[in-house]
Amino acid sequence: MASPASQFNADATRLVADLEHRQLIRQALAGYEKTRGTQAIRYQSWESARDRAAAVKAEAIRNLDRYLVQFEQNLVARGAKVFWANDGVEARNYVLGLARTRQAKTIVKSKTMVSEEIHLNEALEKAGFKVVESDLGEFIVQLRHEPPYHIVFPAMHLTRGQISDLFHEKLGAEPTSDPEQLTMTARRTLRQDYCRADIGITGANFAVAETGMISITENEGNARLTLGLPKTHVVLLGIEKIVPKLADLSLFLPMLATAGTGQQMTGYNSLVGGPRGPGEIDGPEEMHVVLLDNGRTRLLADPEQRDALRCIRCGACLNVCPIFRNVGGHTYGTTYQGPIGSVITPHLRGLQSWQHLSQASSLCGACTETCPVKIDLHHHLLQNRRNAVAAKRSVSQRLAFRAFAFVVNRSALFRMTSGILKALQPLQRIFNSTPADPAWPWTKSREVPVFARSSFRDLWRQRNS
Ligand code: SF4
C-alpha cells in the first residue's frame, strides 16, 4: 500500500491537471464566495467578533479539565450517561456494545466528523448493523462508498447529473436534474429509516459546560429527527467542543453559520440536555455522550499549537485555500482536509506519516485571515515543517546546516564563499535540470536562483563612495 505522502503526491499531480474537477470546485464555492463580503454588513465589527470568539475558545481550552467535568456533571444530573474515550477504539467499542445490548438493527446518523475520524460506520457495518447517513451530502457519499469531500459540504465534488445517476442506480429513482426532486428522493428513503431506527447518532457543534447541553446546528432538520425519534441517542463529541456559557452561543451560532455557509443563521438549531424527562411525551429514552480525546490532549500539551483546538469546523479555511481548490478534499486522505486538517492531523495521527501535509500550502495566509476564531494556521504549518525536519534530520543535513551557519556568521568568509559560488554558477547551469546535478533531488522541480551581478554590500559601498 502506498504511504500517505506518495498517495497524496500521486492524487494531487493527477487532479491539478484535471481542469473539469477544478472548475467544479470553483463553481461549488462560487455561491459561498459571494456571501463572504456580507460578513462585515451583518456584524457591526467582524474583527471584534473574531477577537471575542478567539478569547472565549482560548479560555475554554485553557480550562478544559474544569469545563469538561462541569459539562459531565450537569448532563449526568439529567439522566444522560457520559463515556470518556481515550481513542477511536474505545469510542467504537462503546457504541458497538450499546448497539449489541439494545439489539439494534438500524442506526441512523446525522453528520458527525468525529464518527468519520474513528471509522465508526465501517465497524458498525462489519458487525452487521444497518447504518444510514441522514445528512443529504453524507447520504450521497455513503451511497458512493466514499468519505466526505469537505467538512461542511461532503458531496460538493459531484454534479446533479452524477447524483441523479446514483439515485437511479441505487434507489431506482427517475433521472432528473431538478435539485428539489433529488432531495425528495432522499427524503422518501430516509423517512422510513428514521421510523425504523433503534439508535440515532449525532455529533455536536458546541458543548455548553454551564448547562450540560449540546448544541447542534444544521439546515435539513435531519439531526433533530435523528436525536428525537430513536429510543437511544448517542452523541460523539471531541473534547475541544466545549464553550463555557450558554450565552456564548449567541456569538458562536451566527458566526458558524456566517463563516461556514454564508448564512445569517442555519435553519435548525437544537439544544439537547438529556433524555426524555418525566412527563415529557417525546425524545429518546436514553442519551449517551462519548467524549473523545484521540490525540487532542497531545495537541493541548503543545503550547505553540494548542490554539488549533479552538476550531469550530466551519470549513472557511478550506474554501479559501488555493491548494484545496486545486487538489480537492479526497487527496488529503484525512478526515479533516485543508489547512486545519494539515495542522491537526500530524497531532492526531502521527507527525512522520502526515508531515507532508504541511507542504500542501503556499503559505499565502488566506486561511489565517479568514478563520473566525483566529487560528494562526499558516504559521502552524511552518512549525509542523520545522518539527518534521528536526525529527528526522540526517547527519549530512545537520552538518550542512552547521556549516551554513558557520559561514553566514562570519562576514569575510561569507563574502569569499559567495564569490566562489558565483564563479562556479556557470557550471551549475550546465548540469541544472539533469540527473547529473549533485543537487538533482532539489533542482528537478526548481531553478537555482541566479546570483545578482552586484551584491548588496557592493551596491551600498558604491552608493556611499
Ligand atoms: S481552522 Fe478556522 S477557518 Fe478552518 S475550519 Fe476551523 S474555525 Fe473554520
Beta strands at 199-202 and 81-85: parallel, antiparallel or unpaired: unpaired
Probe target for ligand 1 pocket from 253, 311, 336, 343, with the most ligand atoms within 8 Å of CB: 311
Higher pLDDT, 305 or 389: 305
Ligand 1 contact, 313 CB (< 6 A): yes
Half-sphere exposure for 16 (CA within 13 Å, toward CB) = 9
Q: How far is the CA of 173 from the centre of ligand 1 (A)?
A: 37
Q: How confident is the model at residue 452 (pLDDT cuts 50, 70, 90)?
A: confident
The rounded distance, in Å, linking the Cα atoms of 361 and 3 is: 20
Index of the ligand 1 atom closest to the CA of residue 340: 1
Q: How far is the CA of 309 from the centre of ligand 1 (A)?
A: 10
Q: How confident is the model at residue 37 (pLDDT cuts 50, 70, 90)?
A: low
Probe target for ligand 1 pocket from 255, 296, 336, 375, with the most ligand atoms within 8 Å of CB: 375
Q: How far is the CA of 12 from the centre of ligand 1 (A)?
A: 22
**Which residue's CA is the closest to the ligand 1 atom numbered 3?**
371
Which pLDDT does position 431 carry in this prediction?
64
Q: What is the DSSP letter of 224?
A: H
Q: By CB neighbour count within 10 A (0-12 exposed, 13-18 middle, 19+ buried), where does 31 fall?
A: exposed
Name the residue type at position 302: D
Q: What is the pLDDT of residues 127-140, one digit of tens each?
A: 999 999 999 999 99
Q: How far is the CA of 310 from the centre of ligand 1 (A)?
A: 8
Which pLDDT does position 301 carry in this prediction?
95
Q: By the 8 A CB rule, do 38 and 32 touch?
A: no
Q: What is the pLDDT of residues 418-443, one digit of tens each?
A: 888 888 887 766 666 677 777 777 77
- What pTM, to 2 d.p., does this model score? 0.86
pLDDT above 70: residue 41: no
pLDDT above 70: residue 392: yes
Probe target for ligand 1 pocket from 32, 57, 317, with the most ligand atoms within 8 Å of CB: 317
Ligand 1 contact, 123 CB (< 6 A): no
Residue positions counted in the chain:
465
**Which residue's CA is the closest to the ligand 1 atom numbered 4?**
317
Ligand 1 contact, 375 CB (< 6 A): yes
The rounded distance, in Å, linking the Cα atoms of 25 and 222 is: 25
Ligand 1 contact, 204 CB (< 6 A): no
The rounded distance, in Å, linking the Cα atoms of 372 and 389 is: 30
Ligand 1 contact, 357 CB (< 6 A): no
pLDDT above 70: residue 458: yes
Q: How confident is the model at residue 184 (pLDDT cuts 50, 70, 90)?
A: very high
Ligand 1 contact, 316 CB (< 6 A): yes
Q: By the 8 A CB rule, do 288 and 32 touch?
A: no
Index of the ligand 1 atom closest to the CA of residue 259: 8
Ligand 1 contact, 371 CB (< 6 A): yes
Q: What is the pLDDT of residues 49-72, one digit of tens each?
A: 999 999 999 999 999 999 999 999
SS3 of 155, please? coil
Ligand 1 contact, 124 CB (< 6 A): no
Nearest to 146 by CA among 172, 166, 130, 168: 166
Index of the ligand 1 atom closest to the CA of residue 338: 4
